[in-house]
A and B are shown apart, each in its own frame.
Chain A
Amino acid sequence: MKTIKFLSLAALTGLFFVSCSSDDNDPEPVVEEETITTMTVSLVPQGGGDTITLQTRDLDGDGPNAPVITVSGNLAGNTAYDGTIVLLNETETPAEDVTEEVAELDEEHQFFFQTTGSIGSVTYGDTDGNGNPVGIVFTLNTDTAGAASITITLRHEPKKPNNGTLSDAGGETDIAETFDLTIG
């Protein structure tokens, strides 16, 4: 008898614990500090004229939507443009300027410019503390009229100095975008 009492008690204990209470606090949303949503490249012609803006913008970050790429207009032929890059994190309000952070940590960052078609050259306009190029500021020279493209890549922790190619630089890609341009 005692045994049976003991066992039924044991079985009952087994049934109790399912009733646990839960607190209903909702989790906080995460502030995505490191995301870069937007890269805006301003090209100002050195002799005066229309500023051309290239932009890639992906407001959902790692979400399913692809970045939206816009080019404000055609570039003039045989012209030198002063280029500057601005990076934004627009998941935060107000948007955070990530360019400042890259500039501050310029020794572990570098922009790379690959071009096709009617672009003559891209030269770096800035250097890091070790005298190696960064690429937030650059100069772009167009050739005669025609089609062109420019691929801008930002690498984190690349080999520095490198020979200017992506494969030699290594590191991790933070930004990689191609803009199709018309010159002339």
Chain B
Amino acid sequence: MKALLFVILLTVIPIQAKSQDCNKVLKGQITDYHSKTPLGGASVSVVDKNLEVETDLNGKYSIPNLCPGQYQLEVSHPECSTIFIDVEVSGVTEFDIKLEHHLEELDEVNVVGDAINDKTNSAQEEKLKLKTLELYSSGSLGDALKELGGVSSLNTGSNIVKPTIHGLNGSRVLILNDGVRMQDMEWGDEHAPNIDINTTGAVSVIKGASALQYGGDAIGGVIVMEQAKVPVKDTIYGKTLLNGMSNGRGGNISSELIKAYQSGWFIKGQGSFKRLGDREAPDYVLSNTGIQEIGASLQIGKRQFTWGWDARYSFFNSEIAVLRASHIGNVDDLVRGINSGQPEVIRSFTYDLQNPRQEVTHHLGKLNFYKRFEGLGKWSLQYDFQNNRRFEFDVRRGERDNRASIDLELTTHTISTDFKWDANENYQLHVGLLGRYQENFANPDTGVRRLIPDYEKFDFGAFILGEYQVSDQLLLESGIRYDFNRIDAKKFYQTSRWEERGYDTEFQNLIIDDLGTQLLVNPIFNYHNVSATAGGNYEFNNESNLKVNYALAQRAPNPSELFSDGLHHSAARIELGELRAESETSHKISASYQMNSDNWGFAFEPFGNWVQNFLLLEPSGVEFNIRGAFPVWEYRQTDARLLGLDASIYSDWTNQLRTEHRFSLVKGRDISTNTPLINIPAANIRNKVTYVKPEWKNFEFSLESQYVFRQNEVPDNITVFSPEQQQDVLLEINTAPDAYHLLGLKSKMEFPFGNGTNLTTSLVVNNLLNTNYRDYLNRQRFFADDLGKNFIIQLKFNY
């Protein structure tokens, strides 16, 4: 080949030297890289010469009258990214060019990306853009996601926020952090996702299990957090966010810097730090509710069109103080807490994080490689490692305050690979495999019986997804996934508990050691789960479309649902798992009709979710010990039905004025007993007015009202015997708080300094009227009011 080139050069150069006869022709064909179909209407121009031609229907082009020599061509097509290629012209030169029409892969996004793709075609899906995420820089992921319809949260105070999609949370909601499924003990009500919101570029929420590529057990939905794309060019840029917050008297700082090269290499570093003291309700300090968070990540890689790789490491540490008044001893303390109307412990403001508190550290490492095959598609391979360490510190007797009551370490290794056939314009196929090994270690040095035992878990998954473009209007998709889960645990049961649960008749063969009052048990359970989805997207015209989707999902019980066993001080309850638990099976049907015209639009999105073997934790009775009475919360399986609706409408009254209105409703019912499900979010309405004036430094101002109805459908309260009162008392553990209305405002201005640097200032005020309220889905509603007025001032520097 080289020799041939040499010969050609040898022959060309003398000719050039002799005559410079400019009658050479450059011709060839332009095709799509994936499908190899000819691209008509592409333009080919010679850089620095006033020459430009277009390809014909067969993708052929021809440029006549060229002098022999070296040229640079600029090739572009409306649906493709523009490329520059060097070519040597001598005689009649044939030069075929392949163009990439998948724009997203070589994103020419300058700053950072709003460009994110849908993860499914037919499921209900919503996105949060970087602009919105930045406003929540000092909050948490769960706070930001509540901007979306149908997304709420289960809180423990205001710092522990678990995202809830269509009424479901925890293990039913998968969180993908830059392609890695988070393994951070999501099973606990008071465990928030271990993610720094500042590390993410965009978030998509899929409200259901239709995105099978991520997992088959997303009965609630999937939250996909993605990094902003790094441009393939020589550049360096970054940003710094500074937030000051009045409620908590603290704030945070977050900074990132990215260096990218034309060759595809890039390196990205990010870090953030947050510190708040005690938060405040309108009438009192919420003693011991401060937080400290540290996050950092480093990513390095090379991205080219045909192949690329990246390696990322991220670290997250949070230390969260838990409301002192929520730590209680028995049912009487709980009754007293509920009836007193205000927290039993109110101290003056402090930054100290005292017991009860939790400290969680999460390490995440990832290696990803991809390669494109011409005329076929893209293959990728990924390994990720996660380590999650959780300490929970209780108020303990004596010198034990510095010893955690819960000390768990969860380590996870995952390998996954997938291949996406996108060669054909009309259909695509996506297949993948996944293997995961997980190990949990419960440290016995706590001096408190383990709530979650030591276990090993093995997962294997395989999926195939396909989509077919039937016509310009109609797109169909379907997929199927198989998952195998095996859990191998070693757990100590009190002999009395083992017998009380009736396990001695069913599971006696699991016992591997008998210590008299305790039994060491080795349950090994296997689960085979199948999930599937089918749906379609029909575009009526450019303005409206209809999506309909059915998803079947199965979820194996998590370690907490199987093995929980012990006293939870934060709720004064004994939690009991269920060894007999089987996989949940969900059938969800959702539809979405959207219309967006020039100056108004709406979305109407109903759903129905029928779950067989739905696992729920609810109060079932009372047990006594020397401390008094405790409500027992047991996991129970039943058949459940969730019906709901998200609707939104907006209107641009003028170029400057927009109003938006949203309504969300979920109804959850246990259909075996015909009673309401516990912890279902109340209906809510949000109305927002936004005023923009680009001439005034991009001024933006919005006022939002949020009305949350009272949850009227709750399970019955339970009656318990109170040793203190020497009689039965009604424990109002399920009574929902009253409806509430909150006002909030946001405003923003931008100050460009030229040379690419920019300062954005914003002011956010939450609970503007300092309203006293309690939310049904805040586990601390028994003890204290929610947050009062909060001013957040933000400075953002882009450079």
A132 CB, min distance to chain B CBs, angstroms: 18
Query: With a CB–CB cut-off of 8 A, which chain A residues contact B417?
Result: 10-11, 13-14
Stretch binding the partner chain, chosen from A73-81, A121-129, A134-142, A150-158: A150-158
Of the listed stretches B42-50, B487-495, B669-677, chain A binds: B487-495
Contacts of B495 in A (CB 8 A): 60
Say whether A97 faces chain B, with CB atoms less than 8 Å apart: no
B500 proximal to A (CB < 8 A): yes
Is A173 touching B330 in the complex (CB atoms < 8 A)? yes
Contact residues of A between 30 and 57, Cβ < 8 Å to B: 30-34, 36-39, 56
Given contacts A13-B417, A15-B433, A167-B336, contact A176 B628 (CB under 8 A): yes
* Interface size band for B: 35 or more
> Does chain B have a CB within 8 A of A94?
no
Q: Does B76 sit within 8 A of A, measured CB to CB?
A: no
**Cβ B447 vs Cβ A34 within 8 A:** yes
Taking CB atoms, residues of chain B closer than 8 Å to A114 are: 724
- Name the residue of chain A whose CB is nearest to the CB of B416: A14
Given known A10-B381, A32-B447, contact A174–B726 (CB-CB < 8 A):
no
Task: Report A-chain residues with C-beta under 8 Å of the C-beta of B371.
Answer: 6
Whether A172 and B496, one on each chain, are in contact in the complex, defined by CB atoms closer than 8 angstroms, is no
A33 touches B624 (CB 8 A): no
In the assembled complex, the Cα of A11 lies from the Cα of B464 at a distance in Å of 14
Binary contact track A21-32/B, C-beta < 8 Å → 1, others 0: 010001111111
Contact with B along A60-74 (1 / 0, CB 8 A): 111111110000000
Contact check, A17 vs B623: say whether CB atoms are below 8 A apart: no
Among the stretches B258-266, B282-290, B390-398, the one at the interface with A is B390-398
Contact indicator A27/B517 (Cβ below 8 Å): no
Q: Which of B328, B336, B395, B496 contacts A60 (CB 8 A)?
A: B496
Measured CB to CB, the nearest residue on chain A to B373 is: A3
Chain B residues, Cβ within 8 Å of A67: 624-626
Contact of A64 among B415, B435, B500 (CB under 8 A): B500
Nearest residue (CB) in B for A151 is B723
Whole-angstrom CA separation of A18 from B495 in the bound complex: 35
Contact residue among B512, B624, B625 (Cβ-Cβ distance under 8 Å from A26) = B512
Asked whether any CB of chain B lies closer than 8 Å to the CB of A86, the reply is no
Is there contact, CB below 8 Å, between B518 and A101? no
Please, which residues of chain A bring their CB within 8 A of the CB of B328? Answer: 172-173
Given A15-B433, A67-B625, A177-B626, residue A101 in contact with residue B397 (CB < 8 A): yes
Interface residues of A in 94-147 (CB under 8 A from B): 101-102, 104-105, 114, 116
Q: Which residues of A contact B444 (CB under 8 A)?
A: 27-31
In the complex, what's the smallest C-beta–C-beta distance from B727 to chain A, in angstroms?
Answer: 11
Q: Give the complex CA separation of A177 and B376 in angstroms.
A: 74
Nearest chain A CB to B307's CB is how many angstroms away?
Answer: 11
Complex CA distance for A53 and B622, rounded to whole angstroms = 28
Cβ B490 vs Cβ A31 within 8 A? no
The answer to whether B197 has its CB under 8 Å from any CB of chain A is no
Chain B CB within 10 Å, residue with most, of A56, A61, A91, A174: A61
CA–CA, A175 to B724, complex, Å? Answer: 11
Q: Is the CB of A29 within 8 A of B381?
A: no
Which B residues touch A65, using CB under 8 A? 496, 500
Chain A residue with minimal CB distance to B450? A30
Chain B residue numbers with a CB within 8 Å of A104 are 398
Q: Mark each residue of chain B from 420 to 440: 1 if its CB lies under 8 Å from any CB of chain A, else 0.
A: 000000000000011101000
Q: Which residue on A lies nearest to B414, using beta carbons?
A: A17
Q: Kindly state whether residue B520 has any CB partner on chain A within 8 Å.
A: yes
**Contact: B627 with A63, CB < 8 Å?**
no
Q: B338-356 toward A: CB 8 Å interface, digit per residue (1/0)?
A: 0000001100000000000
Complex alpha-carbon distance, A28 and B492, angstroms = 9
Cβ of B691 within 8 Å of any chain A Cβ, yes or no, is no
Residues of A in contact, count (CB < 8 Å)? 61
Contacts of B446 on A, CB cut-off 8 Å?
30
B497 at the interface (CB under 8 A from A): yes
Known: A34-B400, A172-B333. A60 touches B517 (CB 8 A): yes
Residues of B within 8 A of A28 (CB): 444
A16, A27, A39, A66: which contacts B624 (Cβ < 8 A)?
Answer: A66
Chain B: minimal CB distance from A76 (Å): 25
Q: How far is the CA of A36 from the CA of B627 in the complex (A)?
A: 9
Known contacts A27-B444, A30-B448, A175-B626; A17 and B415 CB within 8 A of each other? yes
Instruction: Compute how far the CA of A174 lies from the CA of B344 in the bound complex, rounded to whole angstroms.
Output: 17
Nearest-neighbour CB distance to chain A for B408, whole angstroms, equals: 12
Interchain CB contact under 8 A, A60 and B494: yes
- Are A3 and B376 closer than 8 Å at their CB atoms? yes
Q: Which residues of A contact B398 (CB under 8 A)?
A: 101, 104-105
Residues of A contacting B569 in the complex (Cβ-Cβ under 8 angstroms): 172
- In the docked arrangement, what's the CA distance between A153 and B330, Å? 11
Measured between beta carbons, the chain B residues less than 8 angstroms from A176 are 330, 332, 626-628, 723-724
Q: For the complex, is B513 an interface residue (Cβ under 8 Å from A)?
A: yes
Contact of B332 among A3, A58, A173 (CB under 8 A): A173
B396's partner among A20, A34, A173 (CB-CB below 8 A) is: A34
CB proximity of B435 to chain A, nearest CB, Å: 4
- Expressed in whole angstroms, the minimum distance between the Cβ of B402 and any Cβ of chain A is 14
Taking a contact as CB atoms under 8 Å apart, the answer to whether A62 and B449 are in contact is yes
The reply to whether B329 and A173 form a contact with Cβ atoms under 8 Å apart is yes
Q: How far is the CB of A41 from chain B (nearest CB, A)?
A: 13
Query: Quick one: closest A residue to B500, CB to CB?
Result: A64
Chain A residues with CB under 8 A of B379: 6-7, 10
Residues of B within 8 A of A61 (CB): 449, 494, 625
Q: Are B435 and A14 in contact (CB under 8 A)?
A: yes
Verify if B454 is at the interface (C-beta below 8 Å from A): yes
Task: Choose from A10, A64, A91, A155 the contact partner of B623 (Cβ within 8 Å).
Answer: A64
Q: In the complex, A155→B456 CA distance in Å?
A: 40
A170 CB–B CB distance under 8 Å: yes
- Which of A6, A10, A174 neighbours the largest number of chain B CB atoms within 10 Å of its CB? A10
- For B336, the chain A residues whose CB sits under 8 A away are 167, 170
Distance A15 CA – B757 CA, assembled complex (angstroms): 49
Instruction: Flag whether B273 is at the interface (Cβ < 8 A).
Output: no
Contacts of A26 in B (CB 8 A): 490, 512-513, 520
Cβ-closest chain B residue relative to A38: B626
Q: Pick the residue among A31, A32, A58, A156 that contacts B329 (CB under 8 A).
A: A156
Distance between Cα atoms of A116 and B724 in the complex (Å): 12
B residues whose Cβ falls under 8 Å from a Cβ of A: 327-330, 332-333, 336, 344-345, 371, 373, 376, 379, 381, 395-398, 400, 413, 415-417, 419, 433-435, 437, 442, 444, 446-450, 453-454, 456, 458, 460, 488, 490, 492, 494-497, 500, 512-513, 515, 517-518, 520, 566-567, 569, 574, 623-628, 630, 723-724, 726
User: Could you write out 26 A-B pairs with CB less than 8 Å apart?
Assistant: A6-B371, A7-B379, A14-B435, A17-B413, A27-B442, A27-B450, A27-B453, A27-B490, A29-B492, A29-B515, A31-B444, A33-B447, A34-B397, A34-B447, A61-B494, A62-B566, A64-B496, A66-B625, A116-B726, A151-B726, A153-B724, A166-B332, A173-B628, A174-B397, A175-B626, A176-B330
Known: A173-B329, A174-B329. 10 other contacts (CB 8 A): A27-B450, A29-B518, A36-B627, A60-B495, A63-B500, A67-B624, A166-B332, A170-B344, A173-B332, A176-B627
The 10 closest A-B pairs by CB, nearest first: A173-B329, A172-B329, A176-B628, A14-B433, A64-B500, A33-B447, A66-B624, A63-B494, A60-B496, A17-B435
